[in-house]
Amino acid sequence: MARMHTKKHGRSKSRKPEATEATPSKKSEEDIKKVIKEYMDKGIGAATIGQNLKEKHEVPYIKHAMGKRLTAVMKEQGYKQEFPEDMLNLMKRAVNLRKHIEKNNKDMHNKTRLIRVESKIWRLTRYYKREGMLSPTWKYDPVQAALVVKG
Protein backbone atom coordinates (compact mmCIF):
# COMPACT_ATOMS: atom_id res chain seq x y z
CA MET A 1 0.00 0.00 0.00
CA ALA A 2 2.98 2.30 -0.09
CA ARG A 3 2.82 5.24 -2.45
CA MET A 4 -0.91 5.00 -3.03
CA HIS A 5 -1.37 8.77 -3.08
CA THR A 6 1.82 9.90 -4.77
CA LYS A 7 3.09 10.02 -8.32
CA LYS A 8 6.04 7.79 -7.50
CA HIS A 9 6.12 4.19 -8.61
CA GLY A 10 5.89 1.29 -6.20
CA ARG A 11 8.72 -1.01 -5.23
CA SER A 12 9.41 -4.20 -7.09
CA LYS A 13 12.00 -6.96 -7.36
CA SER A 14 12.47 -7.88 -3.74
CA ARG A 15 16.11 -8.46 -2.81
CA LYS A 16 15.29 -10.89 0.01
CA PRO A 17 17.41 -14.04 -0.37
CA GLU A 18 15.90 -17.44 -0.98
CA ALA A 19 15.56 -19.79 1.99
CA THR A 20 18.49 -21.84 0.68
CA GLU A 21 20.74 -18.77 0.31
CA ALA A 22 19.86 -17.11 3.62
CA THR A 23 22.35 -17.03 6.44
CA PRO A 24 21.20 -19.41 9.14
CA SER A 25 20.02 -18.06 12.46
CA LYS A 26 22.31 -18.45 15.45
CA LYS A 27 19.35 -19.28 17.70
CA SER A 28 17.25 -22.42 17.77
CA GLU A 29 13.51 -22.45 17.15
CA GLU A 30 12.82 -22.92 20.85
CA ASP A 31 14.87 -19.85 21.77
CA ILE A 32 13.11 -17.77 19.13
CA LYS A 33 9.69 -18.91 20.41
CA LYS A 34 10.67 -17.94 23.96
CA VAL A 35 11.75 -14.47 22.83
CA ILE A 36 8.54 -14.01 20.84
CA LYS A 37 6.47 -15.08 23.86
CA GLU A 38 8.32 -12.58 26.10
CA TYR A 39 7.62 -9.74 23.70
CA MET A 40 3.97 -10.81 23.33
CA ASP A 41 3.54 -10.76 27.12
CA LYS A 42 4.82 -7.17 27.16
CA GLY A 43 2.14 -6.23 24.60
CA ILE A 44 4.47 -5.47 21.72
CA GLY A 45 3.07 -5.74 18.18
CA ALA A 46 4.22 -8.08 15.42
CA ALA A 47 6.16 -5.47 13.43
CA THR A 48 8.17 -4.38 16.46
CA ILE A 49 8.82 -7.99 17.49
CA GLY A 50 10.18 -8.76 14.04
CA GLN A 51 12.40 -5.71 14.08
CA ASN A 52 13.73 -6.54 17.56
CA LEU A 53 14.46 -10.12 16.50
CA LYS A 54 16.51 -8.84 13.58
CA GLU A 55 18.41 -6.16 15.47
CA LYS A 56 18.88 -7.50 18.98
CA HIS A 57 18.68 -11.27 18.62
CA GLU A 58 20.38 -11.73 15.22
CA VAL A 59 17.52 -13.59 13.53
CA PRO A 60 17.62 -12.21 9.97
CA TYR A 61 14.49 -13.92 8.59
CA ILE A 62 11.97 -15.58 10.88
CA LYS A 63 10.35 -17.51 8.06
CA HIS A 64 13.70 -19.02 7.08
CA ALA A 65 14.53 -19.91 10.67
CA MET A 66 11.17 -21.41 11.65
CA GLY A 67 9.44 -22.25 8.39
CA LYS A 68 6.48 -19.98 9.26
CA ARG A 69 5.70 -16.31 9.34
CA LEU A 70 5.88 -14.40 12.60
CA THR A 71 2.11 -13.93 12.84
CA ALA A 72 1.56 -17.68 12.43
CA VAL A 73 4.00 -18.37 15.29
CA MET A 74 2.24 -15.75 17.42
CA LYS A 75 -1.18 -17.30 16.74
CA GLU A 76 0.14 -20.71 17.82
CA GLN A 77 1.19 -19.16 21.12
CA GLY A 78 -2.27 -17.72 21.74
CA TYR A 79 -1.98 -14.22 20.28
CA LYS A 80 -5.36 -12.89 19.29
CA GLN A 81 -6.21 -9.40 18.18
CA GLU A 82 -9.44 -7.84 17.00
CA PHE A 83 -7.91 -5.85 14.14
CA PRO A 84 -4.79 -6.37 12.02
CA GLU A 85 -1.86 -4.25 13.13
CA ASP A 86 -1.57 -2.14 9.96
CA MET A 87 -5.24 -1.22 10.12
CA LEU A 88 -5.02 -0.37 13.81
CA ASN A 89 -2.06 1.95 13.12
CA LEU A 90 -4.03 3.74 10.41
CA MET A 91 -7.00 4.09 12.76
CA LYS A 92 -4.72 5.65 15.41
CA ARG A 93 -3.44 8.11 12.85
CA ALA A 94 -6.98 9.01 11.77
CA VAL A 95 -8.08 9.56 15.38
CA ASN A 96 -5.09 11.84 16.03
CA LEU A 97 -5.78 13.79 12.83
CA ARG A 98 -9.43 14.26 13.82
CA LYS A 99 -8.37 15.63 17.23
CA HIS A 100 -5.97 18.02 15.52
CA ILE A 101 -8.59 19.19 13.03
CA GLU A 102 -11.09 19.88 15.83
CA LYS A 103 -8.60 22.36 17.33
CA ASN A 104 -7.30 23.70 14.01
CA ASN A 105 -10.33 23.86 11.77
CA LYS A 106 -8.63 25.72 8.91
CA ASP A 107 -5.75 23.27 8.50
CA MET A 108 -6.50 22.16 4.96
CA HIS A 109 -3.36 20.06 4.54
CA ASN A 110 -4.26 17.79 7.42
CA LYS A 111 -7.86 17.56 6.24
CA THR A 112 -6.47 16.16 3.02
CA ARG A 113 -4.24 13.77 4.98
CA LEU A 114 -7.28 12.58 6.93
CA ILE A 115 -9.17 11.86 3.72
CA ARG A 116 -6.22 9.86 2.42
CA VAL A 117 -5.77 7.89 5.64
CA GLU A 118 -9.45 7.03 5.80
CA SER A 119 -9.45 5.93 2.17
CA LYS A 120 -6.62 3.53 3.03
CA ILE A 121 -8.68 2.24 5.95
CA TRP A 122 -11.69 1.61 3.70
CA ARG A 123 -9.50 -0.12 1.15
CA LEU A 124 -7.96 -2.36 3.82
CA THR A 125 -11.44 -3.05 5.18
CA ARG A 126 -12.54 -4.46 1.83
CA TYR A 127 -9.41 -6.64 1.68
CA TYR A 128 -9.74 -7.99 5.23
CA LYS A 129 -13.45 -8.73 4.77
CA ARG A 130 -12.63 -10.64 1.60
CA GLU A 131 -9.90 -12.61 3.40
CA GLY A 132 -12.18 -13.33 6.38
CA MET A 133 -10.07 -11.44 8.93
CA LEU A 134 -12.92 -8.99 9.66
CA SER A 135 -16.61 -9.76 9.96
CA PRO A 136 -18.59 -8.97 6.81
CA THR A 137 -20.81 -6.51 8.70
CA TRP A 138 -17.98 -4.41 10.18
CA LYS A 139 -17.78 -0.79 9.02
CA TYR A 140 -15.26 1.91 9.80
CA ASP A 141 -16.75 4.57 12.05
CA PRO A 142 -14.56 7.41 13.36
CA VAL A 143 -16.28 7.44 16.77
CA GLN A 144 -15.93 3.69 17.14
CA ALA A 145 -12.30 3.91 15.98
CA ALA A 146 -11.57 6.40 18.76
CA LEU A 147 -12.96 3.92 21.31
CA VAL A 148 -10.91 1.06 19.83
CA VAL A 149 -7.72 3.13 19.89
CA LYS A 150 -8.29 4.14 23.53
CA GLY A 151 -8.89 0.56 24.65
- Above 60 in pLDDT, residue 1? no
Cα 21 to Cα 16, 18, 79, 114: the distances in Å are: 10, 5, 31, 43
Least confident of 16-30, 59-73, 89-103: 16-30
pLDDT for 22: 64
Helix crossing, 85-103 with 108-131: angle to 10°? 150
pLDDT for 91: 96
- Above 90 in pLDDT, residue 11? no
**pTM for this one?**
0.76
Q: How do residues 35-66 score in pLDDT, each as one tens digit?
A: 999 999 998 889 999 999 999 998 888 888 88
- Above 80 in pLDDT, residue 18? no
Q: How many residues does the chain have?
A: 151
pLDDT for 3: 65
Q: Mark 24-40 as b/e (b = at least 16 C-beta within 10 Å).
A: ebebeeeebbebbeebb
**Amino acid symbol at 36:** I
Inter-residue contact 62 to 17 (CB < 8 Å): no
E strand map for the chain? none
Cα 49 to Cα 55, 59, 78, 93, 114: the distances in Å are: 10, 11, 15, 21, 28
Give the mean model confidence (pLDDT) for residues 77-82.
Answer: 83
Q: Would you tell me how many other CB atoms lie within 10 Å of the CB of residue 134?
A: 20
Inter-residue contact 78 to 46 (CB < 8 Å): no
The pLDDT-based confidence of 99 (bands split at 50, 70, 90) is: very high
